[in-house]
Amino acid sequence: MNTRVDWSGVRERVLAVEEAERRARGRGPLSYPLFEPVLTAAEIAEAEAQFGVTLPDEYRTFLAEVGAGGPGPALHLSPLCRIDGTWGWLDGGYHWLLDASGPFVETEDWADQQRATLRAAGHEPTTRDEDIDYLDDYREAFGDAGDEAWHLERARGAVPISDNGCGMTGWLIIVGPHRGRLRDRDCATNPPFEPYLDAKGDPHTFRTWYVEWLEQRENAAR
């Protein structure tokens, strides 16, 4: 049996610390909502049915009790929203759709995954490039669709959950053995996905990641 994730008071604490920071800087109240509206149980079920997944408990309860997007670690959380009848995560103006066809591939296993994909397409991989792995092989195997195939497969099973600024992003794993864990990605062409770790060096879950960020803001505001 799953233990219910408790988000009680978190939304109010975020709003309070935001207000305290604005007062400290001599700014007036915000003229717009900080959080996107929460999602109903029916809306969450519809999004899950579209992708054929059950969202990690900590994240799905956040959507229902705190908001579909809003303030978060770094800049903000990518909102889960429906555009033209399709659910996806709004990231820098791009509506990201989860590819749930397979598990998220960890950085250390990515090269093996690429070779398997290329061979399944009838293309024997050449020498792996230090910066872009087998991207040139994808271009040869898939033509004009090679770049898109490479990028989409790299993030399969995960979604961009936070905008960290300057092209850096946080990712939430939805499919695979590390479902519910977070990964950090820099802005280079082919950066690794690095686990978010807490102060003890343990991998963050969505809730520990979010609450740690909130506590750090509250401590700074004091």
| Alpha-carbon torsion, ordered 140, 145, 148, 150, to 10 deg | -30
pLDDT in tens, 145-197: 999 999 999 999 999 999 888 889 999 999 999 999 999 998 777 888 999 99
Between 3.40.1580.10, 3.40.50.11750, 3.40.50.2300, 2.60.40.10, what CATH number should domain 10-104+155-221 receive?
Answer: 3.40.1580.10
64: nearest Cα among 48, 84, 52, 51: 48
For residue 1, the model assigns a pLDDT of 40
Q: Which residues of the chain have pLDDT under 50?
A: 1-2
For residue 164, the model assigns a pLDDT of 87
Residues of the chain with CATH 3.40.1580.10: 10-104+155-221
For residue 212, the model assigns a pLDDT of 95
206: nearest Cα among 184, 180, 170, 186: 180
